[in-house]
Amino acid sequence: MIQRTVLSLVMTLLMTAAAMAQPRVEVAVDDLTHPWGMALLPEGDLLVTERPGRLLQLNPDTGERRVIGNSPAVVARGQGGLLDIALHPQFEDNRWVYLTWAGACESGSATHLGRGKLGDGELTDFETLLVAEPCVSSGRHFGSRLVFDRDGHLYLTTGDRGQRDRSQDPHDLNGAVLRLHDDGDIPADNPFADGEAGHPAIYSFGHRNPQGATLHPVTGAVWIHEHGPRGGDEINLPASGENFGWPLMTHGREYHGPEIGPDTLPGMVDPIHHWTPSIAPSGMLFYTGDAFPHWQGHLFVGALVQTHLARLELDGTTVVTEDRLLEDRGRRIRAVEQGPDGAILLLTDHADGELLRLTPRDH
């Protein structure tokens, strides 16, 4: 009898601990149309992109929204449309907002990068800074995450556009991580700055379709993740001039079954972590807030196909534990950010998309 009582108490404590580990989930804003990227304004509002082409300013507390005018015209076909958004590191002084989108060009579409100044309900002085040529008719794999490093360099990820061999051509702006100054100029210390061995804007290549990018809060290094095919989603640390292997090496397989290439090859950079089978990662955040002190330093990644929020605990660059949150909601998590109060903010990529706010449960 005593043993059964002790066992029951232990099971109750374990279930209580598991429940407390799950955050409270609030739908802060609903009725969004395939939201893709978000950026937190200093006053607490969010700028949110919707893939069909709208840029919204949202109040996450009241749900109030308005459309920001003069956003770029997009090609909303396949995986394309209005994609990521980032604020300039000195946004409060210069008001620059950076956008990526699938835009029309002579032979189809390409990932575009541009910026404009956020005024009263519109972007002004909008300019296109880069077009990831060559343009093609494909509607796939635009990549498109943006992140500024601590030196003010802007990193842009581009996908292989569904034409995998392009990732191994260092003169092709697709299937790569690009590194630019804030005005779109090329840094003199980029690995191919002279244009001889590769395109001057390219920082690293051999990527498939990176849709997550963030800075490590301690080292300041840029981290990305990218979609594999059937398995082989990867977390990578871009390095100057390095080749990350796609499609010559991958943990993934063809969608119809056969192996694509070996898991590793000499002279190419291995991922620090991979998901096989694929979770279809999108959005990426190192958590630094006080709302969840036991999660500080953990990496959060949204999952589109397996519809959850992955929480990864790290020892340096080694993943030591991985947990899945929000599996029961069945929502495609596209973007992950941290609110000013330490809440975790998520966008769900659906025709009836949501902005979700994660906060701790009461103890």
Show which residues are catalytic. 141
Structure tokens at 265: 């090859």
Q: Which long-range contacts (CB under 8 A, 24 or more apart) does 198-202 make?
A: 198/170, 198/171, 198/241, 199/170, 199/171, 199/172, 199/173, 201/130, 201/173, 202/170, 202/173, 202/176, 202/177, 202/178
Helices (H), 131-285: none
Phi, psi angles (nearest 5°) of residue 17: -65, -40
**What is residue 167's three-state secondary structure?**
helix
Q: How far apart are CA 188 and CA 126, in angstroms?
A: 25
CB 17 within 8 Å of CB 352: no
Contact of 154 with 148, CB cutoff 8 Å? yes
At 83, list the tokens: 């994609």
* CA quadruple 30, 34, 40, 46: dihedral, nearest 10: -40
**HSE (side-chain half, CA atoms, 13 Å) at 54:** 11
Element (DSSP H or E) covering residue 346 = strand 344-348
Q: Taking the CA atoms of 52, 134, 187 and 284 in sequence, report the sign of the dihedral they define.
A: positive
* Residue 281 CA, distance from chain mean position: 8
**Total Cβ atoms within 10 A of residue 136:** 17
